[in-house]
Each structure stands twice: as C-alpha cells, then as structure tokens.
Structure 1
Amino acid sequence: MTTSDQTNDLLEYLRQQRDLFRYRLPSRPDAGRFIDQLMRFLFPVTQDCQSATQDVSRTYAQLNDQLVCLMRPLSGHLHQAPEELSMLFFEQLRSIYDDLLYDARAIADNDPASKGFEEVIAVYPGFYAIAVYRFAHALLRLNVPLLPRMLTEYAHGQTGIDIHPGARIGRSFFIDHGTGVVIGETTVIGENVKVYQGVTLGATHVAKNMAQKKRHPTIEDNVVIYANATILGGKTVVGHDSVIGGNVWLTNSVEPYSLVYHQSQIEVRTKEVE
C-alpha cells in the first residue's frame, strides 16, 4: 500500500468516526474567554485594555452573544433555543452575583493573609473556582448539557480545584489555598463552610449504575474541613458546626459539633554529635 493509499484510508476512517459523536461542542478557548470576560464584567477590579474602554451595556450584549454562540453547537440537545436560555441565564446573574459577594466576603474576613476584598476577587484561586462553579451550576439547572462541565474544567485547569457543576453549595463558601480540592457531582454543602487544600468530597466507589444516585457526602452549615481530609459516600453527613481535621478519612456520618481528627505518632530524636 502506498503512502497515498494509507492517507486516503485514514481520511475515510476519520469521516466514518465523525458520525459516531453525539455532541458538537464549543471550543475550550471560547469557553475560557467567556468566563474571564464575565468575571471582569461583574468584578472590574482587574481589566484588560479592551474591556476597560467598553461601557457596561455593550459588554453585557457581547456576553449574551458569546453565550448564545457557545450553546449553538448543542442546539439539537437543548430544550429551548440558545437565545432563550441565554436570557434565562442572565436573569439569574444578579442572584449569582450576590452569592459571590458573600463568598468573597467570607474569604476576606476569615483569611488573615488577605489584604482586602479586591485581592480576593483578583487573585484567589478559591474564589475564581467558586465563581465559575456558580455560573456553570446555573446553566446546568437550565438543562444545558456538557457546557457547564466544560466551564468548571476550565477553572480546574486554572486553579487545580475540581468542582462538579452538579454539586449544591450554599453561601459564604471559602476554599483556602485550594490546590487538589475535589467536590463531586452530588455533594451538598451548606452555608459558611470552609475547606482547605487537598480535600476530597467523593464517592466510596465508582460504578456507572450509580449515576442517578447520591454518591457524595453532605456537609452541613459552619463546618471546617482541614487539609487533605477525605470524606466519602452519599449517606455520609457531617453535622453542622463540626471540625474535620487534616488527613482524616471519613466514610460515616458525624453528629453536629463533632471534632474529628487523625491521630498519628511522630517521633523526634536528637542526633548524637560525636
């Protein structure tokens, strides 16, 4: 077989394979640009040169057009036209914005290293990941497929924080540092919850037949979860006002006001000096 024949066979094979894909998706760069422009629109503490010269009405119209464009490849799988869904999304923007103000204030008020509200919005990866989650969750509730996950995975790549858009998260959520945090699809988190880096809110096991079941834990109000703790299982409930210590592995529920900690033995010896 000649090189030309091999090329023709490859091209024909790829043409056949294209028919197997159920969805067409927007590009990742376009999804990322939408998110970042939306963040600058809501929180103009940072601006690129172009956005800084645009008025609010013009930017709002551009964002609406961008979201319609992002949804258009999915048109065959939407229950409403992209234009209608975009309108419904932007009708929720005031409520999402208010929730994000609570999140930012929780971080600014509780982190002694924070220099203020603007710093949290501009540079904190936890706030960025939470914001993108709240946008994506709103789209998921409108039954938009795949795009919400594309948005949260963009944030995952930017921050190292993986929040599934299907999770339900209350106000004043604080992710400190953030790298390595994983929050699964059916997780429920109450208000005033604080999570440190490396925390996993996951499932006890992975199986496709569990897709429609609650697989991830419930975290009630005013809970603090310290670094590298792992909390697993759909029936696991962490009661309100509890503290989960670092490196804890938890697969059972705990009552409100619980203190759960991992106990390890560390031995320190002084070297003998000859």
Structure 2
Amino acid sequence: MDQQFLHQLFQLHASTSRVPSSEAVCTWLDNLLGLLFPELAKQRFPSQRTFEHEFSIVRHRLFAILEVLEEDLTASPTEIEESFMEVLPHVHRLLEADAQAIFAGDPAANSLREVIRTYPGFYAIAVYRLAHEFCQLGVPLIPRILSEHAHTLTGVDIHPSAKIGERFCIDHGTGIVIGETVDIGRDVKIYQGVTLGALSVKKDLAMTKRHPTIGDNVVIYAGATILGGDTVIGEGAVIGGNTWIVKSVDPGSRVYYRG
C-alpha cells in the first residue's frame, strides 16, 4: 500500500470533526419513543421513580450525543438538551393528534394503540417531528440521521426542515417524498407514492423555496406528484391519484388524471 496515500487518509481523519454514531442516535430515538408512547416501549415500569430514572438516562444519552458535536453547535450541549426537553410536551401533543387523525381517516384502523404500534405513517411522522425540533435548534447531522433511519424502516422520506401542521395523516406511506421547503397546513392527508418536490435541483437554488405549499384540509391521493416552490394547493382541494401538478390549484378544487 502506498504510504503517501495512507498518510493522506490519516490526515483527512485527523482533520475531520467527530460525529456521533448512527447506531447511538437511533437507539436513543427508539428509547425516547418508548417513553413517549407505551405502545412502543420495550419494558414496563413498576413505579414512577423507575420511569423517571429511565427518562434521565435518555436525557443523559442525548447530552452525550450533542457533546460529540459541540464544536459545530450554535449553543452549548446543555442549552440544546434543555431546549429540546422543554419542547417535548408540545411534540407529544402534536403526535397524539396525528395518531388520532390517522385513526379517524383509516377505516381499517381498529384502535389508536394499533396506529401507534404498527403504522409506518405514524412512525415516520413521529421521527419527523423530533428531527424537526433539532433543525429548529440548529443541530447538524442528527436530524438527517433520524429522518434517514425512518426512511429506511418505512419508505417515507420527510426532510426534517419541512413544515407540517397539526393532525397530519399518512395512509400506507411507502414511497412518499416530502422535500426540504415544503409547507403543509393542518388536517392534511397523504397517500402512498406522493411526491412533494422541486422543479429544479440546481445547487444555486439551495436557499430558495423550491417545494410546494399545501393548504389546510387537503387530500392527496396515491402517486400524485406536486412540484415547485411557487405551487400552492389551496385549502380543501382534493388531488387525485397519478396526477402531475406544477401550477397552483384553487381552494376547494378537484384535480383528477384523465388517461
């Protein structure tokens, strides 16, 4: 092996910032979700003291993950950890409403417990909402590690910087793509294979609004593709399956594919 090549590789490793392992981040995620939702817990807690102890362990592990990224953070690991923990009750309320929306919108759902425990759409939304909070706090890498973990498990690809309103419902889920600058309103329902994407992937557009805006109470059926930062789907619109949309749709409209 060329010694100069090995030296170059070593110098690259030596000059690169440390990153937390994906395994540590994803294990932390699943432990947190198990505390937020008993349906996802891997253990039962005999007392509140035991539960609080487990929560403190999860909190400590988050600090350890953030500590690895300390030189790339906009605030101290302690400050970010505290800010994240403060917003958890709000995130939990959002996720409870998401689960209720999925249950109400799917005739095949037998209970909220079933939705939380088994539905890939709920898991993808849960991970998105947690990852989004890290984005809001300016934390690098962790949001994408979380979102790609959910993507791998569910087939749902939600960029953690996207904005998604209350009572979001994903039905089935496989193949859904929601881009970085998507803005989704309240009470929106999306089926499998939907893409909310950009018309152009030019790098010089990275800081612009590239993805569509979806108004409140919109339903988007399977296989629909909606593209462009100037594209707005108006409140209460229904977008039929396998449609291709690059222009705005008026509120209350019905858009269907005709072969």
* TM-score over 0.5 for the pair: yes
Code of the residue aligned with 1:42 in structure 2: it is L
1:188 aligns with 2:183: yes
Does the Cα contact within 8 Å between 2:45 and 2:51 map onto a contact in 1?
no
CA displacement 1:35-65 (0-9 Å, x = unmatched): 111111000123324x656822112111111
The answer as to whether partners of 1:25 and 1:147 remain within 8 angstroms in 2 is no
- Compute the displacement of 1:19 (Å): 4.7
Aligned residues: 257
Residue type at the aligned position of 1:121? I
Equivalent in 12, 25, 33 of residue 31 of structure 1: 25
Deviation of 1:7 (Å): 6.2
Report the equivalent of 1:178: 173
Identity level (%): 48
Instruction: Note the residue ranges of structure 2 that are not aligned, 5 or more in a row.
Output: none
Work out whether residues 245 and 260 of structure 1, in 8 Å CA contact, stay in contact via their aligned partners in 2: yes
Q: Which residue of structure 2 lines up, in the alignment, with residue 271 of structure 1?
A: none
Q: Is the 8 A contact 2:33 2:41 kept in 1?
A: no
Q: Which position in structure 2 is the counterpart of 1:141?
A: 136
Read off the aligned partner of 1:36 and give its amino acid letter: D
Distance in 2 (alpha carbons) for counterparts of 1:255 and 1:174: 22
Give the alignment of 1:1-274 within 5 angstroms: 6=1, 8-19=3-14, 21=16, 23-49=17-43, 52=45, 55-264=50-259
Deviation track 1:94-121 (CA, whole Å, cap 9, x = no partner) reads 0000000110000111101101000000
- Between the aligned partners of 1:9 and 1:114, the Cα distance in structure 2 is 61
- Per-residue CA distance 1:180-234 (angstroms, 9 max, x = gap): 1000000000000000000000000101111110000000000000001000000
Aligned partners of 2:163, 2:131: CA distance in 1, in Å?
Answer: 11
Which amino acid is the alignment partner of residue 209 of structure 2? Answer: K
Shift of 1:10: 4.4
Paired residue secondary structure (1:246): coil
Q: Which amino acid aligns with 1:60?
A: F
Task: Judge conservation of contact 2:99–2:112 (CA < 8 Å) in 1.
Answer: yes
Shift of 1:9: 4.3
Distance across 1 between alignment mates of 2:113 and 2:185: 25
SS at 1:92's partner residue? helix
CA distance in 1, matches of 2:35, 2:61: 13
CA displacement at 1:34 relative to structure 2: 1.0
Structure (1 or 2) with the larger CA radius of gyration: 1
Aligned equivalents of 1:158, 1:86: Cα separation in 2: 26
CA RMSD of aligned residues (A): 1.4
Write the distance in 2 (CA, Å) between the matches of 1:7 and 1:178. Answer: 48
**TM-score, normalized by length of structure 2?**
0.95
* Cα separation, 2, equivalents of 1:25 and 1:191: 35
TM-score (norm 1): 0.90
The one-letter code matched in structure 1 to 2:206 is A
